[in-house]
Structure 1
Amino acid sequence: MNEFFQTLKTQRWDDHRYYHHSRINQSLHLISALSFLVAYGLVFVNPAWAALLAWCVSMTTRQAGHFFFEPRGYDEVNRATDEYKEAIKVGYNIRRKIVLMAVWVALPAVLWFAPSLGGLIQPAVGLQGYVEDVGMAWFCLGVVGLLFRVGQLWATQGLMQGLAWGFKILTDPFHDVLLYWRSPFYLLRGQLIDPMEHVGSQAH
């Protein structure tokens, strides 16, 4: 268990110091985390609507922060290039995220033109049924995306890395609230980039 928690701690630390310099990105992660927590509660009531909330609010705010606001140049704090950070990223780097988001966007169209998915599911009745089918498809995509990356990490870096990353992803909403709840206040003061003074002294 000590190895698991140390691996988890390292993954969390690297995720923060490498990929969350922008205060806008941090603030969007806070919004994402709060909506994910609502989705976590909703999943026990209606998984389809939980997935709709998670993908349409939580994931869009989270990924918008990375795609549009996180600096992509040379990282002076960690003394690392963007190419290096993308290559070592444990989870979904930009290339993998583009693939995942492309599938996310494509699924509603697939269900619109093939409501039964070739006989695999009962065709939706009405607009609400279609929306709920999309939600369930997105729910399955989230589960598959998580398990697929855990499997990849298991095969390439070992089971501990895969399990720690899977646990990290599931608990990130709780951790992000604790980590980034001050970010909107820094942003209101005009601080667009986190100086990361707590990171600089430990950078390699």
Structure 2
Amino acid sequence: MRRLHFAAESGQAGFRAQLAEQRWDDHRFYHQSLLNQSLHFVSACTFLIAYVLLFTDPALASLLAWGVAMTSRQAGHFFFEPKGFDEKNQVSHAYKEEVKVGYNLARKYVLMGAWGAAPLLLWLQPDLFGMIQAPHDFEGYLRHVGIAWLMLGLLAIALRVAQLTVARDFETGLVWAVKIVTDPFNDFRLYRSAPAQLVKGRRAGDQLAA
């Protein structure tokens, strides 16, 4: 019985260690720009509101999450994060893209392409080829888009967990999924001071403790 208890504690410690490592690598490799950190703070606040709305209005929560939180979050990565040689970590951008556990920039282009295609598809095919009831007005159309984006988010997480399970192991995928879901809480804590620092005229964020 004591051995089982010890094994459980060891497993929990290993899970927490992997989660901390993934979070730290994500921060030090992909969040050096203070503009990116500030946008992640905006994204985190928006995601937290969306999490609350998810229990009462999933469509609206998804519209808020994808329309504001995800666009601000990914804009920070695409436009403001440096992509040259990383002097702080002494690694190339290509290396960081290769070892990225979650969605690297190449995968994000595919994901955001699907995000942009969903509203267009529902506009051209309001009933989704007879699979759903066509909306009666623009609000109904937006709610369909929200649900489509919610399904896309869940599918994106499930697919990446499956890929990581095949490439590495299930625990790595599960740790990443937990990281993704809890990122808004962690980003709020890490980057809450970034907007004030940006206003003061700083350009690059400090490395924060893991």
What TM-score does the superposition give when structure 1 sets the normalisation length?
0.95
Task: Quote the residue 1:29 is aligned against.
Answer: 40
Listed as ranges, the matches of 1:83-162 within 5 Å are: 83-162=94-173
Task: Report the AA paired with residue 183 of structure 2.
Answer: D
CA distance in 2 between counterparts of 1:196 and 1:131 reads: 40
Are 2:84 and 1:73 aligned? yes
Decide whether the 8 Å contact of 2:44 with 2:69 is kept in 1: yes
The aligned length equals 199
1:62 to 73, 84, 87: 73
Deviation at 1:189, TM superposition (A): 2.1
User: How far does the alpha carbon of each residue in 1:6-40 deviate from its partner, in whole angstroms, 9 at most, with x for none?
Assistant: 11010000000000000000000000000000000
Runs (4 or more) in structure 1 with deviation over 3 Å come to none
Q: Secondary structure at the match of 1:74?
A: coil
- Decide which structure has the larger Cα Rg and report it: 2
Are 2:67 and 1:53 aligned? no
User: How far does the alpha carbon of each residue in 1:138-187 deviate from its partner, in whole angstroms, 9 at most, with x for none?
Assistant: 01001101111111111111111100000000000000011011111221
CA distance in 2 between counterparts of 1:109 and 1:198 reads: 42
RMSD: 1.2
Task: Report the AA paired with residue 166 of structure 1.
Answer: A
Deviation at 1:196, TM superposition (A): 2.5
Q: Percent identity?
A: 50
Task: Report the AA paired with residue 171 of structure 2.
Answer: M
User: How far does the alpha carbon of each residue in 1:79-108 deviate from its partner, in whole angstroms, 9 at most, with x for none?
Assistant: 000000011101111110000000100111
Are 2:174 and 1:163 aligned? yes
CA distance in 2 between counterparts of 1:153 and 1:197 reads: 27
2:18 to 7, 31, 56: 7
What TM-score does the superposition give when structure 2 sets the normalisation length?
0.92
Decide whether the 8 Å contact of 2:190 with 2:208 is kept in 1: no
Deviation at 1:120, TM superposition (A): 1.4
Unaligned runs of 5+ in 2: 1-11
CA distance in 2 between counterparts of 1:104 and 1:165 reads: 21
Deviation at 1:135, TM superposition (A): 0.6
CA distance in 1 between counterparts of 2:135 and 2:75 reads: 31
